Amino acid sequence: MISHAWLTGEGMKIIPMEKHDREILCMAVQGDNLVTGSSDHALHLYDLKANRLRRRLFTPKFGHHEWVTCCDFNCDGQVVSGGMDAKICVWDKSIPKCIDLQGHSTSVSQIVCDKDTPLCASASYDKTLKIWNTKSGACLQTFVGHSQPVNDCVWRRSLLLSTGRDGLLIGWDVNTGTRINTIRHTSPIAAIHLFADELGFVATGTQDGTVAVYDLRDFRTAVFTSVLHPNAVCSSVKSFDDREATTIITSGSDRRVVVVDSAMGFAPRAELTGHQAPVHSLCTVPFDRRTQLVVSGADNGWVLVHNAATADGKTNACFGSGIVKSGVRCLEVNDSMTKLCVGGDDLEPVVLDFSG
């Protein structure tokens, strides 16, 4: 049952957490744990049940010596982080101690952990991707194919998809280490989203505002492509996945959030209005077919909540708030969909409690 607070903001509690020394660049949620990474070189692990800091993951001996750029939880609940120091750190669950996975030669841009095995994928500005065993520390595969920095990747089962500043979307077979296919875009790729497994789609957003959707069963020609954010960067792509009708949500530096409906031939159905600054953060909260909430965060610190399920044409927000004083970089919702975590340039993460 959806909390009334999600639709109106009434009864929502705003809970500031212990702050970093500098801005927050990344975050991840698993169960009652929230982890944030910062340009202060540290990670903070928070207890979302008690709304407090569990521990600071940084010591003179262990951790990153540069900005923390990405983080995730592995299947054992360990924090795995990547930084501009080219290191990947796998953190102990009890104390601020880690093992270093070293092999990249420059900044690590993305970490994606498999939820069933101790494996993780990393993307780097050194133009490569790697598969690691976070338990043994071994590097199992290295993928070479990009001509410029790799800025993102998504992974499911044996399929790894990577995007780069070279405009390439490359599919890799993790089991064999081989390249499946390469799709070239005319602009650097700024966003990638992998749809639910049974749908078999992947979407990209580029720096010239183009959004494209590809069928992974063919993975050659886009089933949909459109400039949804003219003269702007498409910064994020998300979706509500349904066998009958998939809804795609995109955001951009043009301050717009666009809803695209597969049941309408991937035609834009609505624009979620209200933002007065570039929108670079999105997350989705799928309660049911009539309540598909889109949470978007902008560079001016505002967070808006819209219902994409009922959106048609220009649609106002259910509610919005200037949660932080400056840019929102990260948005995550916990598994029970009762807490929204917001991070950005304000140093302290903020938890919005909708449990009522």
DSSP E strands: which ranges in 157-276? Answer: 159-164, 168-173, 178-184, 189-194, 201-206, 210-215, 222-227, 234-240, 247-252, 257-261, 267-272
Would you say 268 and 259 are in contact if contact means Cβ atoms under 8 Å apart? yes
According to the model, what pLDDT value does residue 265 have?
81
Q: Is the dihedral of CA 164, 166, 168, 172 positive or negative?
A: negative
Would you say 37 and 70 are in contact if contact means Cβ atoms under 8 Å apart? yes
Distance between CA atoms of 235 and 254, rounded to whole angstroms?
10
For the cut 90, the answer to whether the pLDDT of residue 323 exceeds it is no
Per-residue pLDDT averaged across 46-70, rounded? 97
DSSP E strands: which ranges in 127-167? Answer: 128-133, 139-144, 150-156, 159-164
* Domains present along the chain, CATH in parentheses: 22-279 (2.130.10.10)
Look-up of token digits 């259910």: 318
Q: How many CA atoms within 13 Å lie on the side-chain side of 265?
A: 0
Would you say 78 and 66 are in contact if contact means Cβ atoms under 8 Å apart? no
Tell me the pLDDT tens digit for each residue of 97-136.
999 999 999 999 999 999 999 999 999 999 999 999 999 9
Coil/strand/helix, residue 264? helix
Tell me the pLDDT tens digit for each residue of 244-290.
668 999 999 999 999 998 878 888 999 999 999 999 999 999 888 88
Would you say 257 and 282 are in contact if contact means Cβ atoms under 8 Å apart? yes
Distance between CA atoms of 105 and 65, rounded to whole angstroms?
14
Q: Which of 144-158, 196-210, 240-254 has the lowest mean pLDDT?
A: 240-254
According to the model, what pLDDT value does residue 241 have?
83
Cβ neighbours for 61, distance < 8 A, ≥ 6 positions apart: none
Give the mean pLDDT of the chain. Answer: 94
CA–CA distance from 21 to each of 181, 281, 287 (Å)? 43, 22, 36
According to the model, what pLDDT value does residue 245 have?
65
pLDDT confidence band for 243 (50 / 70 / 90): low
List the one residue out of 290, 308, 288, 287 whose CA is nearest residue 354: 287
List the one residue out of 240, 309, 334 whose CA is nearest residue 48: 334
Instruction: Please tell me the pTM assigned to this model.
Output: 0.95
For the cut 70, the answer to whether the pLDDT of residue 225 exceeds it is yes
Q: Which of 151-155, 183-187, 242-246 has the lowest mean pLDDT?
A: 242-246
Distance between CA atoms of 15 and 34, rounded to whole angstroms?
13
Q: Could you tell me the two tokens for 326?
A: 């400056």
According to the model, what pLDDT value does residue 295 have?
97
- For the chain, where are the alpha helices, taking DSSP H only? 4-8
For the cut 70, the answer to whether the pLDDT of residue 344 exceeds it is yes
- Pick the residue with more confidence: 41 or 288? 41
Burial (CB < 10 A; 0-12, 13-18, 19+), residue 335, is exposed
The count of other CB atoms within 10 Å of the CB of residue 23 is 17
According to the model, what pLDDT value does residue 288 have?
84
